[in-house]
Structure 1
Amino acid sequence: MTHWFRAYSDEEDIWFYFEVDAGGWVTRQIELSGPSGVPVAAASLEEWQQAYEEGRIGRYEATYGLTAESPVQEWEGYEPHALTSAEFEDTWSRARRHLLQATAEP
């Protein structure tokens, strides 16, 4: 079953938003930086894998970042705050638009 949550990193001043599958693997991840919540990542594991297979992983990571590389069961020191699917999707859409615009600027 898929679930969604967010967690704040004081050290980095970043809100991390996660979509996690039944096995605990992050399938999509959003990172919002600073007090204004500027999107710095909005990556999809499926898209990352496809970009890797097609030889365009560098471009994908430069635009969208990447997802966590270990299942959430292995993480320590985070406090998850539950999200609804709709809350995650809204944040995902806004972050993706921002990142696409940022990479399209000359």
Structure 2
Amino acid sequence: MGYWFRSYWAEEDTWFCFEVDADGWVTRQVELQGPHGKPVAAASLAEWEAAEAAGTLEAYEAVFGATAAVPVQEWEGHEPHDLAPEAFEALWLSARTALLAAARTRSKSGA
């Protein structure tokens, strides 16, 4: 059974929202930056691993970012706040939509 939480890092003015498995590994991660909560990442560990295996990791990370590379038990200096699974899912869907739209815009403009 997994769990969901969020944590704010003031240095980056970013909320990090996590879905974590029973072993403490981040399975999905959303990052919202600035006062308006601009999505800057919405990565899935399963997708990241599949992209790595397929040789498309750079393209995946350019659109969605990456998940944390160590289990949450090894983190220091963060204050976790509970997050309802439904709230995480809403953030996930919203961030993914925004990141995909931004990637399409970049590809059309050649950026």
TM bin, normalised by shorter chain, reads over 0.9
Higher helix content, 1 or 2: 2
Q: Which amino acid aligns with 2:47?
A: E
CA distance in 1, matches of 2:25, 2:89: 18
Equivalenced residue count is: 106
The Cα shift of 1:25 comes to: 0.3
Q: What TM-score results when the alignment is normalised by the length of structure 1?
A: 0.99
The Cα shift of 1:48 comes to: 0.3
Unaligned runs of 5+ in 2: none
| 1:20-72 deviation per Cα after TM superposition (whole angstroms, max 9, x unaligned) | 00000000000000000000000000000001111100000000000000000
Match of 2:93, SS state, is helix
Q: What TM-score results when the alignment is normalised by the length of structure 2?
A: 0.94
Match of 1:11, SS state, is helix
CA distance in 2, matches of 1:26, 1:60: 17
CA distance in 2, matches of 1:6, 1:61: 21
CA distance in 1, matches of 2:40, 2:91: 12
Match of 2:62, SS state, is helix
